[in-house]
Amino acid sequence: MKEEDGYVVLQISASAKTTIKLFMARPGSKSLTDFVAHSPMPESLERYTKGGKPHYPQTLYTTIIRGKEDGLFAIDQLSPPYENPWKSRMKLSGIDFMKNPNVGVLCTTDGDIWRVKGLTNGGASLSWQRIASGLFQPLGIKVLNEKIYVTCRDQLVLLRDLNGDGETDFYESFNHDHQVTDHFHEFAMGLQADKEGNLYYAKSGRHAREALIPQHGTLLKVSKDGATTQIIATGFRAANGVCINPDGSFIVTDQQGYWNPMNRVNWIDGKGKFYGNMWGYNPPKDSTKVAMEQPLVWIDMEFDRSPSELLWVDSKKWGPLNGSLLSFSYGYGKIQLVLPEDVNSQKQGGVIDLPGIKFRTGIMRGRFNPADGQLYACGMSAWGTSQTIKGGDFYRLRYTGKPVSLPIRLGAEADGVTLTFANGLDEKSTCQPGNYTVQSWDIRRSRKYGSDRYNTQTLSLADVKLSQDKKTIKLMLPSIKPTDVMTIAYSVMDTKGHTYTGKVQNTIHQLRKANNKVFTANR
């Protein structure tokens, strides 16, 4: 034992089997020596590293309620155990699957982790085991090599089961670089992993207060060993989750608020870019529009009051929607199809509601199950959502195989907008200009909360063209120009007499060169 820089340092050989008992007292305490002399010998703590008896030995069971298959999608209710011995609120905020995809793990905002079995074995019931508790507002969960990682407000936690009984014995602080302050709004959201095992999540800012740490309002990368954290992008307000794109770029949503005139979906390619929130850490001096990256799409409150996480469809069971991009709505408890395009390396696009879907809660996270190819989604009801029928819920969404009745691609050209459908369309009905309404408006980014609509106009529709394969509509718009927000309402009929109605909302940053070759045989 020696003194270093005013501290007393005890050095222990790494190879020595040592048992230590530490006593502390105020300087000059006369009773310490006598107290130590009569104290029992140090006790080995090794038995506490083996795991102990489970705190939650009960297994709970719930019934699967299969949804009707009369629409494009069927929604199965995978009801959580709302009634449980611990009075745990089932506000579900994250989901992932174990190596056996019949088994899933879910986190709740109140700090619990649950293991659920029976997802894909074709049975009518599920078994639930509470495997961890006491975590600080988990909002993301990821399984890597059968290890469960959880994003919490204060740290990234690795759950350790030391004795193989399924319950967590040790909560390892895998990484805590992002820190935590006293502000209610600085959520840590989502959790994804790349092929190398690095982890990604988003850390929100402090609403309308100055950021205190570099991680406030950022997209973060944690190395696979948990040792380091990199800041990928900055300038977010409340980024609810992360999506990793097939090319390694990212998508992060953000919420309307101060310096955010509207909800936005951000496509993040590269590092070090700023995405608009001047209350983030070390923002640029220039607060104008040109100093920030533009979103893929601005989303008006009419379409979604609070977008959460995005997810790419990776399932042949989803037919023509396989390979598409989905956006989950915490605000309205629905799912939207995202229609991205790239014009001169600028990402832009639109969103449209998947028809016939309305959940009992807001939707937070989703994953496609590799065994049955269906979407499993979880959600909750709290502040900022219109869907409050249940406090939390768990769902399975199945594509029924019926004709997909909405556009699956969108394009903005110098002379109009194209919408491509999955099925062939009836030419006579489709080419009626009266079946469409196109509007546009602009928004203004400022220190104020949100934005009014400016320069609102209804665009004149000169003509409607249909492609030779009968799947792509082109709305000829002589006055088209880049705009923050455009809405396209349509009513068309397919070749089998089914009527499709809907409304797309999109953002146009740039217009690509007009291309009318595929429409030359029409009209």
Domain termination residue (choose one: 367, 399, 431)? 399
Residue 270 has pLDDT above 50, yes or no: yes
Q: What is the pLDDT of residue 520?
A: 60
Q: What is the pLDDT of residue 436?
A: 98
Domain termination residue (choose one: 399, 421, 446)? 399
Same domain, 452 and 370: no
Taking CA atoms, 320 is separated from 316, 357, 457, 467, in Å, by 8, 18, 34, 19
Better-predicted residue by pLDDT, 514 or 522: 514
Domain count, the chain: 2
Under DSSP, is residue 289 helix (H, G, I), strand (E, B) or coil?
A: helix
Residue 125 has pLDDT above 90, yes or no: yes
Better-predicted residue by pLDDT, 21 or 340: 340
Q: What is the pLDDT of residue 147?
A: 98
Q: Which domain holds residue 200?
A: 60-399
Asked if the structure places residue 420 within a domain, the reply is yes
pLDDT band of residue 32 (cuts 50, 70, 90) is confident
Q: What is the pLDDT of residue 14?
A: 84
- For residue 33, give the H/E element and its range: helix 32-37
Residue 490 has pLDDT above 90, yes or no: yes
Predicted TM-score (pTM) of the model is 0.93
Exposed / middle / buried, residue 74 (Cβ in 10 Å: 0-12, 13-18, 19+): middle
Same domain, 207 and 299: yes
Asked if the structure places residue 412 within a domain, the reply is yes
Same domain, 459 and 372: no
Same domain, 438 and 350: no
Beta strands in 453-522 (DSSP E): 454-458, 463-466, 472-476, 483-493, 499-508
DSSP secondary structure of 113-160: EEEEE-SSS--SEEEEEEEE---S---EEEEETTEEEEE-SS-EEEEE
Residue 284 has pLDDT above 70, yes or no: yes
Asked if the structure places residue 4 within a domain, the reply is no
Side chain identity, residue 386: S
- Give tens-digit pLDDT for 361-416: 999 999 999 999 999 999 999 888 999 999 999 999 999 999 999 999 999 999 99
Q: Label residue 356 left, alpha or beta by phi (over 0 means left) and psi (-120 to 50 means alpha).
A: left
Same domain, 153 and 182: yes
Q: What is the CATH number of the domain that holds 286?
A: 2.120.10.30
Same domain, 379 and 413: no
Asked if the structure places residue 425 within a domain, the reply is yes
pLDDT band of residue 17 (cuts 50, 70, 90) is confident
Instruction: Report the pLDDT averaged over residues 261-278.
Output: 96
Which range is most confident: 10-24, 34-48, 148-162, 383-397? 148-162
Q: What is the pLDDT of residue 522?
A: 46
The whole-angstrom separation of Cα 358 and Cα 256 is 22
Same domain, 97 and 199: yes
Same domain, 432 and 298: no
The whole-angstrom separation of Cα 360 and Cα 341 is 32
Average predicted confidence (pLDDT) for the chain: 95
Rounded to 5 degrees, what angle do the CA atoms 217, 111, 223 make? Answer: 50
Per cent of the chain over pLDDT 90 is: 86
Reported residue count of the chain is 523
Q: What is the pLDDT of residue 356?
A: 93
Instruction: Report the pLDDT averaged over residues 71-96.
Output: 97
Better-predicted residue by pLDDT, 34 or 124: 124
Q: What is the pLDDT of residue 452?
A: 95
Same domain, 298 and 387: yes
- What is residue 36's DSSP assignment? H
Same domain, 133 and 170: yes
Q: What is the pLDDT of residue 258?
A: 93
Exposed / middle / buried, residue 225 (Cβ in 10 Å: 0-12, 13-18, 19+): exposed
Same domain, 186 and 268: yes
Q: What is the pLDDT of residue 523?
A: 47
Better-predicted residue by pLDDT, 35 or 173: 173
Same domain, 391 and 429: no
